Chains A and B, each alone.
Chain A
Amino acid sequence: MARPGFFLPKILKSNAHQGEQPILSCADPKTLESLHWLACYLTTGKHMAFYSSFGTVLLLLAVTAPAALAFGFGGAMAARSGFAPLRWCGKGYTAIVRGVPDIAFFLFFVIALDQGFEWLRHKVKCPDWDMPVRQGSDFVVCDAAKMPLSSSPQWVHESYGFAIAVLTFAIVFGAFAANVLYGAMGTVPRAQIETAEAYGLSHRQTFWRILVPQMWVFALPGLGNLWMILIKATPLLFLLGVEDIVYWARELGSSKTAVFDFPHPDWRLYYFLTLLVFYLALTRVSEVVLSRVNMRLSHGQATVAGDAQRRAA
């Protein structure tokens, strides 16, 4: 990637929303009454982009959570493997994220992944390129290997940025999920496994039919915590250069002079208060849902909670 600062939000700023006329009769905002003015102000094209960026955050959560779970499951399986190098890989994967601030990982992986992809494409597409890829402070690959191609439209660039962000989130949170799942697999009562073996189930069958269905209830508190942390990590999208809610809150809230259609002083505080309320609501809803799921999963389990349900029924 030979575009320094590509991931800084200001470069990514799209021009798509400028010049759009707000709906309602907002043709000349300077003449409007206060309430009507507010209604017009809150429905400008930029505000619509702001509202849809809430969707971006939810989309990130919806895509990242299963991806991280898959990474975590793979990591936990590798860490339990009987084949030593694979086991070291699994353990190393979970260990490496500990002890280092995750924001460093977010900043690191975005550049590292991007350069990694471009380097791989460079090797495949331009085998007869004779200059070194790293020239001093520059990272130079042939034009055909650029990700995405410099000729591709704006939305490809934006979705590539988003995809890199999702992958980064999945790798980092996958390590934590691997840790949780590894612990949960070890917590399933030994007797359950022994019973399965006594019935003549193979190793693979024991794993998929006995261990995996039973481990979720042990993994749930940890995964629930992880979900909460994932929610609270989403504002970091802003650092990864995606136009998310933090980007729009800063953009829309900053003071606007009379040159703009809707001049106002510095309102960033109110925009950030909105974000705060959004996140508080999201955590509250998650708490309620998680406690429901926990109840559901405890059903019929050989645990205290499961026993309590049996007695109540």
Chain B
Amino acid sequence: MSCTQTIEDYALRSIGIGERLLPRSDFTLCEQVVLIGSGLIWNVYFGLLALGFGFILAVSVAMAKAAPAAWVRKPAEWFIFVFRGSPLFIQFFLFYETFVLLPKIGIDLNLGFAEITIETRWLTRAWAGALIVLFLNTSAYAGEIFHGALRSIPRGDMEAGDAYGFTGWHKFRKITFPTMLRLAWPAYTNEAIFLFHATTLVYFSGFPAWQQKGDALYYASYFADKTFNPFVPYPILAGYFILLTLAVILIFGLVNARLNRHLPQDRRQKLRVRPQVIR
């Protein structure tokens, strides 16, 4: 089988398009590269959506944690503590079990004038359930980063804002938020890289792969199990992830340049990328 044929068959296998059966024997290098690359679609999907939604929640959580009122601050603190203090692996299991325990048929909601049934089955599927976990998890980590940045905004900046008569939302929008983002950006870049790496945990925790549609690591370990040779699929996976990491660094670097554009050259913050391990 030629490599173009393999690409046609397996390039979109992870989302259910193409050949139904996975290759079973005589694995070629091309098959491994294509199928693992196909799995990467899921890693990108989880990473992008969790990061996008997570950003909004993270900013809210950071603001809540910095709030003087205890009834706002305490929930935010607990949210951050629980999600940062426990392994993502356990969080996946826990959420999966919770979603499984929800009634199979759905929950009947009586609104008084009409009765609606909320479907809950889709929550046990990885595309939704795991996304929720990753979303909450990254919100907690990024929330802590943003909270730290919020606390290290130079006092002079805020005083200057006061002197110009900025108040309330206007002050937040024009001074607090951009400065916070600029200070937090290098750390947030690392968090984004973490998150993409963490997406590989999805199919290794509670969430089962349905019809063998899995992420890059799922296929890599499939090949490693079948060929009993870890020295081919895992380096391929590593190569893909290095490319993904470089892409993240490039995009976040552009944003970083934009956030720092008003500063003199020597005061601009450089991105220091130090990806870390599992959470």
User: Which of A's residues lie within 8 Å of B, judged by CB?
Assistant: 4-5, 97-104, 107-108, 111-112, 115, 134, 137-139, 172-173, 176, 179, 225-226, 229, 231-236, 238-239, 246, 249-250, 253, 266, 268-269, 272-273, 275-276, 279-280, 283-284
Decide if B90 touches A272 in the complex (CB within 8 Å). Answer: yes
Decide if A284 touches B85 in the complex (CB within 8 Å). Answer: yes
The chain B residue sitting closest to A175, CB to CB, is: B277
The chain B residue sitting closest to A106, CB to CB, is: B278
Decide if B88 touches A232 in the complex (CB within 8 Å). Answer: yes
> Which B residues touch A273, using CB under 8 A?
94
Whether B225 sits at the interface, judged by CB under 8 Å, is yes
Decide if B220 touches A102 in the complex (CB within 8 Å). Answer: no
Decide if B90 touches A269 in the complex (CB within 8 Å). Answer: no
Bound-state CA distance A136–B130 (Å) is 36
> Which A residues touch B277, using CB under 8 A?
97, 102, 172-173, 176, 226, 229, 233
Q: Which of A104, A138, A179, A280 contacts B274 (CB 8 A)?
A: A179
> Which A residues touch B276, using CB under 8 A?
176, 225, 229
Decide if B217 touches A5 in the complex (CB within 8 Å). Answer: no
Q: Which of B219-277 contact A (CB under 8 A)?
A: 220-221, 224-231, 234, 237-238, 241-242, 245-246, 273-277
Bound-state CA distance A172–B217 (Å) is 18
> Which A residues touch B220, using CB under 8 A?
104, 107
Give the interface centre of B229, B242, B274, B277 by most chain A CB atoms within 10 Å.
B277
User: Which of B's residues lie within 8 Å of A, judged by CB?
Assistant: 25, 81-82, 84-91, 93-94, 97-98, 100-101, 193, 196-198, 200-201, 204, 217, 220-221, 224-231, 234, 237-238, 241-242, 245-246, 273-279
Decide if B82 touches A280 in the complex (CB within 8 Å). Answer: yes
Decide if A276 touches B86 in the complex (CB within 8 Å). Answer: yes
Q: Which of A138, A233, A238 contacts B278 (CB 8 A)?
A: A233
> Which B residues touch A100, using CB under 8 A?
197, 237-238, 241-242
Q: Whole-angstrom distance from the CB of A266 to the nearest CB of chain B?
A: 7
Decide if B242 touches A99 in the complex (CB within 8 Å). Answer: yes
**Chain B binding site: helix, strand, loop or mixed by DSSP?**
helix
Decide if A101 touches B94 in the complex (CB within 8 Å). Answer: no
Bound-state CA distance A104–B278 (Å) is 11
Contact A233 to B101, CB < 8 A, known contacts A100-B241, A103-B217, A272-B94:
no
> Which A residues touch B86, using CB under 8 A?
232, 276, 279-280, 283
> Which B residues touch A232, using CB under 8 A?
86-89, 278-279
Decide if A235 touches B89 in the complex (CB within 8 Å). Answer: yes
Decide if A4 touches B278 in the complex (CB within 8 Å). Answer: no
Decide if A108 touches B234 in the complex (CB within 8 Å). Answer: yes
Which 7 interchain pairs have the tightest Cβ spacing?
A101-B197, A232-B87, A283-B85, A108-B234, A235-B89, A111-B230, A269-B97
Bound-state CA distance A100–B196 (Å) is 10
Decide if B241 touches A101 in the complex (CB within 8 Å). Answer: yes
The chain A residue sitting closest to B230, CB to CB, is: A111
Contact A279 to B230, CB < 8 A, known contacts A101-B200, A104-B220, A284-B85:
no
> Which B residues touch A111, using CB under 8 A?
224, 228, 230
Decide if A266 touches B241 in the complex (CB within 8 Å). Answer: no
> Which B residues touch A253, using CB under 8 A?
97
> Which B residues touch A269, using CB under 8 A?
94, 97-98, 101
Bound-state CA distance A146–B200 (Å) is 32
Bound-state CA distance A112–B235 (Å) is 12
> Which A residues touch B238, using CB under 8 A?
99-100, 104
The chain A residue sitting closest to B231, CB to CB, is: A112
> Which A residues touch B197, using CB under 8 A?
100-103
Q: Whole-angstrom distance from the CB of B246 to the nearest CB of chain A?
A: 8
A101-B241, A104-B217, A246-B93 given; name 6 further pairs at CB < 8 Å. Answer: A4-B228, A100-B242, A231-B87, A232-B279, A246-B89, A249-B93
The chain A residue sitting closest to B86, CB to CB, is: A279
Decide if B97 touches A235 in the complex (CB within 8 Å). Answer: no
The chain A residue sitting closest to B98, CB to CB, is: A269
Contact A102 to B278, CB < 8 A, known contacts A279-B86, A283-B86:
yes
> Which A residues touch B90, using CB under 8 A?
235, 246, 272, 275-276, 279
Q: Whole-angstrom distance from the CB of A197 to the nearest CB of chain B?
A: 30
Bound-state CA distance A273–B91 (Å) is 9
